[in-house]
């Protein structure tokens, strides 16, 4: 008999916090609001830790916990059922852990904000939905969390609702996500129709146990390929991949802790989680899998290129997030799911750290976000500088920091995935170089050189940042301990977080990948532990058996792997050196380069004009077409025109006949009666015949 883990409590606790603060927060003191919010998140985190502690003792993994039906009709049921396996445990710990740290940070960051209770209510609401997402045991319940985090994101992006740009960005995020959700829904309809259920375990075991019915669809697009494509489009919305990434940069309108929690560490990784969760389906749909890899690789390099020229500190990080999500997408696409989740986790640490440090910088400068107006801050806010440097080194892929291991694993898995894998590897490598460059550019522009205070900076940003305007003037000040503590903890995690996945080539044991194996490795329809050390063969679908690599080949692979590792570390260092050269040694150079690049620079600076193209090609035609053609043309003109025309002409004919006054109900009633008599007469005659 399994012990009862009471998983349902984990999402419910933050929901309770959200409800209490939402209903009563207005009357609470700030301290009470913070206590409720932090206590509920801390409790969820505590429960997650307890669950993790008892995980190894569970008799059955996946552990399933059911709480009655949510939708129940003949032939189809969806239950409120939670599932805990290795994958959801990792997600659970990341979400509650990072979430809790960001809650702490927010207490300091939002201290002077008017909407204090509203902020924490929304933040807790987000936690609830995110935990539903990762704990669900079926796609529909996952979709509850999926759309729910979208709602929380909508509310928090538009948190400063007096600003038009904020409410605009919130709406954009929701609608763009809905485009992805549209596809997600279609995928669920397909699964409902052909599997009769939306439960993960049931669908996956149906697929795995009937290889004749569900072959690996190498020949063409079959059912599983279609489902996989639908899920993939859903994931491109939530995880901000091409072509649906456009909402994420705008989402930076939200308060910085929100950017850290929702738009970097957790919510945006939901798409990655969903693809990884659906690995059985994707493994049977090579075409979809390749598309995932291509989208991921393109997004990674595309977003990184935009990140290079941005000057808003949060926007750089936003494009960096899109780019890193592209990395994870690419990893999923080469079926290196555990590498994707590994990077998801380390990214959650260092990107949350980077965003929160950026928040600390913004806080120190009274709302300033433009890096051109920063510089030299190292002296004023040394702690922030220190932790942000850790985050930058981690994301740049420099050993032994967390990002190095996860990024390196993705690159290696991409390289060894197939004969064409080197293309993904090459794109990933270039992206790594760009990442290192723009991140060190950010670090140097912000903390090195001379301070470049903008004359009008405070006016421009004070209103944008509400409460912080009051300490905008004077010397930048270090953030309070309540903000620094989470930063330091995240910095530690960003340093050591990658050590759980040290690859065999470096003498490690890759515990992380081993731990996740039961979720990602399936053989002959049954989940079994894979033996042997050639872990990079996991990605192959069940039909392509690749056990027992010859020892020499394995050895050759190890040396290739180490060589590639060396190259990627070099790429990170080159990025660092380049950034140092351009932004510390020769700070006058970037402007000249930009000038010489001319149109190319402007195009990238303007984000390739994608937003403008979408506006002109999609949004405007819909709004104008609906106004001029559908509403004024078809509806008022044709449809209603015909109705009124029929009415008027009938009335005129009738009026001349009986000289009755127009417009009064009686004349219409008479007309109706006449028509009725005729029709009834006809029908009766028909009936008699």
Partner 1 sequence: MNYFDKIALTVITFLPAAAALALMFFPRGTAQTDSHGHTHYASDKPIKWVVLGVSILAFILSLHLPAHFDYAQSGFQPRFNTNVEWIASPNIHYHLGVDGISMWLVVLTTFLVPLSILIQWDSVHGRVKEFMVLILLLETAMIGVFLALDMFLFYVFWEATLIPMALLIGIYGHERRIYAAVKFFLYTMLASVFMLGSIIWLYLKVGSFDYAAIQNALSAGQIPGIATAAPWLFLGFFIAFAVKVPLFPFHTWLPDAHVEAPTAGSVLLAGVLLKMGTYGLMRFNVALFPEQARINAPWIITLAIIGIIYGALVALVQPNLKKLIAYSSVSHLGFVVLGIFSFTVAGADGAVYQMLNHGVSTGALFMLAGMLYDRRHTYEIKQFGGLATPMPVYTMLFLVITLSSIGLPLTNGFVGEFLILSGAFQAKAIYAILATTGVIWSAGYMLWLYQRTFFGEIKLAINRNLPDVTQRERLALFPLVVLALIMGLFSPYWMKAIDPSSMRIVEAAQAPKVHATVHPEDSSLKLVSNRNSENTNRK
Considering only residues 457-476, where is the footprint of partner 1 by CB under 8 A?
A: none
Distance, CA of 286 to CA of 333 (rounded, Å): 9
Considering only residues 631-650, where is the footprint of partner 1 by CB under 8 A?
A: 631, 634-635, 639-640, 643-644, 647
Minimum separation from the CB atom of position 345 to partner 1 (A): 27
Distance, CA of 263 to CA of 499 (rounded, Å): 25
Is 663 an interacting residue with respect to partner 1 (CB under 8 A)?
yes
Helices 86-109 and 30-55: angle between axes, nearest 10 degrees:
160
Minimum separation from the CB atom of position 617 to partner 1 (A): 16
Q: Are 82 and 4 in contact (CB under 8 A)?
A: no
> How far is CA 201 from its chain centroid?
24
Question: Which of residues 170 and 498 has its CB atom nearest to partner 1 in the complex?
Answer: 170
Three-class SS string for 300-356?
Answer: HHHHHHHHHHCCEHHHHHHHHHHHHHHHHHHHHHCCCHHHHHHHHHHHHHHHHHHHH
Is 55 an interacting residue with respect to partner 1 (CB under 8 A)?
no
Q: CB count, 10 Å around CB of 328? A: 31
Question: Which of residues 167 and 311 has its CB atom nearest to partner 1 in the complex?
Answer: 167
Candidate ranges 450-458, 468-476, 499-507, 663-671; the one touching partner 1 (CB under 8 A): 663-671
Is 609 an interacting residue with respect to partner 1 (CB under 8 A)?
no
Candidate ranges 66-74, 506-514, 543-551, 610-618; the one touching partner 1 (CB under 8 A): 66-74
For residue 239 the two structure tokens come to 């995880």
Minimum separation from the CB atom of position 286 to partner 1 (A): 15
Candidate ranges 55-63, 554-562, 597-605, 624-632; the one touching partner 1 (CB under 8 A): 624-632
Is 615 an interacting residue with respect to partner 1 (CB under 8 A)?
no
Candidate ranges 48-56, 467-475, 514-522, 672-680; the one touching partner 1 (CB under 8 A): 672-680
Binding to partner 1 by CB under 8 A, coded x per residue (else -) over 210-249, reads: ---x-----xxxxx--x-----------------------
Minimum separation from the CB atom of position 283 to partner 1 (A): 18
SS3 642: helix
Is 593 an interacting residue with respect to partner 1 (CB under 8 A)?
no
Residues near 600 by beta carbon (within 8 Å), at least 6 away in sequence: none
Minimum separation from the CB atom of position 683 to partner 1 (A): 3
Distance, CA of 301 to CA of 325 (rounded, Å): 11
Minimum separation from the CB atom of position 635 to partner 1 (A): 6
Question: Which of residues 223 and 352 has its CB atom nearest to partner 1 in the complex?
Answer: 223
Question: Which of residues 50 and 672 has its CB atom nearest to partner 1 in the complex?
Answer: 672
Considering only residues 124-153, where is the footprint of partner 1 by CB under 8 A?
A: 140, 143-144, 146-148, 151
Phi, psi (degrees; rounded to nearest 5) at 540: -70, 140
Is 654 an interacting residue with respect to partner 1 (CB under 8 A)?
no
Is 679 an interacting residue with respect to partner 1 (CB under 8 A)?
yes
Minimum separation from the CB atom of position 264 to partner 1 (A): 24
Question: Which of residues 177 and 565 has its CB atom nearest to partner 1 in the complex?
Answer: 177
Query: Cis bond leading into 259, ω under 30°?
Result: no
Question: Which of residues 244 and 276 has its CB atom nearest to partner 1 in the complex?
Answer: 244
Query: Cis bond leading into 251, ω under 30°?
Result: no
Minimum separation from the CB atom of position 44 to partner 1 (A): 18
Minimum separation from the CB atom of position 433 to partner 1 (A): 38
Distance, CA of 145 to CA of 323 (rounded, Å): 24
Minimum separation from the CB atom of position 613 to partner 1 (A): 19
Residue 462's nearest CA partner among 477, 475, 472 is 472
* Per rule CB under 8 A, count of chain residues that contact partner 1: 81
Is 657 an interacting residue with respect to partner 1 (CB under 8 A)?
no
Question: Which of residues 225 and 568 has its CB atom nearest to partner 1 in the complex?
Answer: 225
Minimum separation from the CB atom of position 33 to partner 1 (A): 16
Considering only residues 522-541, where is the footprint of partner 1 by CB under 8 A?
A: none
For residue 518 the two structure tokens come to 């039961």
Binding to partner 1 by CB under 8 A, coded x per residue (else -) over 288-327, reads: ----------------------------------------
Is 205 an interacting residue with respect to partner 1 (CB under 8 A)?
no
Question: Which of residues 193 and 595 has its CB atom nearest to partner 1 in the complex?
Answer: 193
Minimum separation from the CB atom of position 38 to partner 1 (A): 23
Question: Which of residues 45 and 174 has its CB atom nearest to partner 1 in the complex?
Answer: 174
Minimum separation from the CB atom of position 374 to partner 1 (A): 29
Minimum separation from the CB atom of position 657 to partner 1 (A): 17
Candidate ranges 157-165, 245-253, 443-451, 544-552; the one touching partner 1 (CB under 8 A): 157-165
Is 682 an interacting residue with respect to partner 1 (CB under 8 A)?
yes
In this structure, what DSSP letter does residue 474 have? S
DSSP assignment of 508-540: ---HHHHHHHHHH--BTTB-----SS-GGGTTS
Site for partner 1 (CB under 8 A): which residue of 59, 162, 617, 657? 162
Site for partner 1 (CB under 8 A): which residue of 168, 218, 469, 537? 168
What is the gyration radius of the CA atoms in the chain, in angstroms?
A: 29
Is 491 an interacting residue with respect to partner 1 (CB under 8 A)?
no
Considering only residues 68-107, where is the footprint of partner 1 by CB under 8 A?
A: 68-76
Site for partner 1 (CB under 8 A): which residue of 9, 600, 653, 672? 672
What is the number of helices (H) and of strands (E) in the chain?
28, 2
| Bridge partners of residue 69, in order along the sequence | 79
Question: Which of residues 226 and 281 has its CB atom nearest to partner 1 in the complex?
Answer: 226
Phi, psi (degrees; rounded to nearest 5) at 88: -70, -25
Cα–Cα distances (Å) from 590 to 337, 369, 579, 584, 587, in that order, read: 39, 19, 10, 11, 7
Helix (H) or strand (E) holding 393: helix 382-396
* Cα dihedral 466→468→469→471 (10° resolution): 170
Distance, CA of 686 to CA of 148 (rounded, Å): 57
For residue 288 the two structure tokens come to 């979809």
Three-class SS string for 133-199?
Answer: HHHECEHHHHHHHHHHHHHHHHHHHCCCCCCHHHHHHHHHHHHHHHHHHHHHHHHHHHHHHHHCCCE
Three-class SS string for 264-302?
Answer: HHCHHHHHHHHHHHCHHHHHCCHHHHHHHHHHHHHHHHH
Is 556 an interacting residue with respect to partner 1 (CB under 8 A)?
no
Distance, CA of 412 to CA of 595 (rounded, Å): 37
Site for partner 1 (CB under 8 A): which residue of 195, 380, 383, 614? 195
Candidate ranges 47-55, 241-249, 374-382, 681-689; the one touching partner 1 (CB under 8 A): 681-689
Candidate ranges 81-89, 161-169, 346-354, 433-441; the one touching partner 1 (CB under 8 A): 161-169
Question: Which of residues 277 and 343 has its CB atom nearest to partner 1 in the complex?
Answer: 277
Residue 336's nearest CA partner among 508, 520, 515 is 520
Distance, CA of 35 to CA of 103 (rounded, Å): 10
Question: Which of residues 65 and 478 has its CB atom nearest to partner 1 in the complex?
Answer: 65
Is 652 an interacting residue with respect to partner 1 (CB under 8 A)?
no
């Amino acid at each position: 008999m399994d012990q009862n883990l009471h998983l349902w409590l984990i999402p419910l606790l933050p929901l309770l916090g959200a409800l209490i603060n939402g209903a009563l927060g207005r009357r609470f003191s700030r301290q009470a609001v913070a206590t409720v919010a932090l206590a509920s998140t801390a409790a969820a985190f505590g429960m997650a830790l307890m669950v993790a502690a008892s995980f190894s003792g569970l008799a059955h993994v996946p552990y399933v916990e059911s709480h009655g039906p949510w939708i129940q009709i003949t032939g189809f049921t969806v239950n409120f059922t939670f599932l805990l396996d290795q994958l959801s445990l990792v997600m659970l710990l990341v979400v509650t852990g990072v979430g809790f740290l960001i809650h702490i940070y927010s207490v300091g960051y939002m201290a002077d904000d008017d909407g204090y209770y509203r902020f924490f209510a929304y933040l807790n609401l987000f936690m609830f939905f995110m935990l539903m997402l990762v704990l669900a045991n079926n796609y529909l319940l996952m979709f509850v969390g999926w759309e729910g985090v979208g709602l929380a994101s909508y509310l928090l992006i538009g948190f400063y609702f007096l600003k038009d740009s904020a409410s605009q960005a919130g709406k954009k995020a929701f609608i763009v996500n809905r485009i992805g959700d549209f596809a997600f829904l279609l995928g669920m309809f397909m699964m409902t129709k052909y599997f009769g259920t939306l439960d993960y375990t049931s669908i996956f075991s149906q697929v795995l146990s009937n290889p004749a019915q569900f072959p690996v669809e190498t020949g063409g697009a079959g059912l599983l390929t279609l489902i996989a494509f639908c899920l993939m489009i859903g994931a491109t919305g939530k995880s901000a991949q091409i072509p649906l990434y456009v909402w994420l940069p705008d989402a930076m309108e939200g308060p910085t802790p929100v950017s850290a929690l929702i738009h970097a560490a957790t919510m945006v990784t939901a798409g990655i989680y969903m693809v990884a969760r659906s690995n059985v389906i994707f493994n049977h749909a090579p075409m979809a899998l390749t598309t995932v890899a291509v989208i991921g690789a393109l997004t990674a390099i595309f977003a990184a290129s935009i990140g290079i020229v941005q000057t808003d500190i949060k926007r750089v990080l936003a494009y960096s997030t899109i780019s890193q999500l592209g990395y994870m997408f690419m990893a999923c696409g080469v079926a290196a799911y555990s590498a994707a989740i590994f990077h998801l986790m380390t990214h959650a640490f260092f990107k949350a750290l980077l965003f929160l440090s950026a928040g600390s910088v913004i806080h120190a400068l009274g709302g300033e976000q433009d890096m051109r107006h920063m510089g030299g801050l190292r002296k004023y806010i040394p702690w922030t500088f220190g932790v942000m440097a850790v985050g930058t080194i981690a994301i740049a892929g420099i050993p032994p920091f967390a990002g190095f291991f996860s990024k390196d694993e993705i690159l290696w898995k991409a390289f060894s995935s197939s004969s064409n894998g080197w293309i993904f590897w090459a794109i990933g490598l270039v992206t790594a170089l760009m990442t290192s460059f723009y991140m060190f550019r950010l670090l140097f522009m912000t903390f090195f050189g001379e301070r470049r205070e903008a004359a009008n900076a405070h006016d421009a940003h004070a209103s944008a940042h509400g409460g912080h305007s009051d300490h905008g003037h004077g010397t930048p000040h270090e953030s309070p301990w309540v903000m620094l503590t989470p930063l330091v903890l995240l910095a530690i995690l960003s340093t050591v977080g990658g050590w759980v996945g040290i690859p065999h080539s470096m003498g490690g044991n890759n515990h992380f990948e081993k731990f996740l194996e039961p979720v990602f490795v399936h053989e002959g329809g049954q989940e079994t532990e894979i033996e042997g050390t050639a872990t990079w063969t996991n990605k192959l679908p069940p039909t392509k058996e690749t056990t027992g690599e010859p020892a020499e080949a394995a050895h050759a692979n190890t040396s290739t792997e180490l060589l590639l590792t060396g190259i990627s570390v070099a790429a990170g260092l080159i990025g660092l050196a380049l950034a140092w050269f351009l932004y510390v040694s020769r700070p006058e150079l970037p402007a000249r380069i930009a000038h010489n690049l001319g149109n190319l620079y402007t195009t990238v600076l303007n984000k390739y004009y994608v937003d403008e193209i979408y506006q002109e090609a999609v949004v405007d035609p819909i709004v104008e077409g609906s106004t001029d053609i559908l509403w004024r043309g078809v509806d008022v003109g044709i449809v209603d025109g015909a109705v009124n025309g029929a009415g008027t002409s009938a009335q005129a004919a009738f009026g001349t006949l009986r000289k009755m006054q127009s417009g009064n109900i009686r004349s219409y009633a008479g007309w109706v009666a006449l028509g009725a008599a005729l029709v009834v007469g006809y029908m009766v005659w028909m009936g008699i015949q």
